[in-house]
Amino acid sequence: MTQQTSPTVKSSNKGKYLLLVGFCFVLIGVGLWFSLRKAEGPETLPSPVLTPTAKKKTPTLPEKVIDYNKLQENTDEALTALMEARKTPYGVENSIDMIVRSDESIKVGEETIQMKKILDEVRFRLGEIVESDLAGESEPDGWEEVFGIHVVQSDENIWDIHFNLLKDYYDHKGIQLSPLADEPDRQGYSSGVGKILKFSENLVHIYNLRERKLESDLDQIYSLTKIVIYNMGRVFALLDRIDYKDVNRIEFDGETLWLPAVQ
């Protein structure tokens, strides 16, 4: 009788072998990938696209224009108030049309010009311009930054313009200046007021707005084309030194005004 062996259940290792082989292939693949990446060098990221940065614009203050036309037409209350405030300390409400600073511009009729342009020409004419002036870094000694502007009308002459300024000044001081105060005496000698007026021609400048240049006379006048410029600091420094009761003792030699010695 043949002995039969009972069937036994045995676990097969075939699946394990396949799993092990697959894992090895994965490891080999990963190793090769790292090797290739290392040979290629470090990964370089694309450079970002740079857009030009817009330059910041320095804010510029609007140019300050003193408009004679608006003052005459009384269409700008703020400007009118500004001029009144500037004129009051000098007492020149009638003889001066505008008081402006050296960093401002003026407009008369259709013409607009910077005061700096006018002052540069004045300084050059006087021989006072220096290299630093061209860069706007300094101003010659004796120049003030405030200027009186009289717009010349067709029926005016320089003598009357100066006399009206002088009359305004003394009115402000409480002194009534006679309309004949500038007339010569009976012997034909100039009065003290006349000598002041003659000397004052050296303290002012006439500017032709249309031709953009300085002039020496007012012979040809066209409406709103010429202005008389007073250096307020110089003019009023002189007038403040004169005691009116001694005005007829003033001497003028054509160049220098001699004031009476202080008693």
Mean pLDDT on 3-22: 43
Where are the domains positioned within the chain?
65-258
pLDDT, residue 47, reads 45
Distance CA 99, CA 96 (A): 7
Least confident of 9-13, 21-25, 168-172: 9-13
For all residues of the chain together, what is the average pLDDT?
A: 76
Return the sign of the alpha-carbon dihedral for residues 124, 129, 135, 140: negative
Q: pLDDT digits over 113-133, tens only? A: 999 999 988 888 777 644 444
Q: How far is CA 165 from CA 150, 160, 174, 232, in A?
A: 10, 9, 14, 11
pLDDT band at residue 138 under the 50/70/90 scheme: very low
Mean pLDDT on 223-237: 88
116 or 145, greater pLDDT: 116
State yes or no: pLDDT of 63 exceeds 80. Answer: no
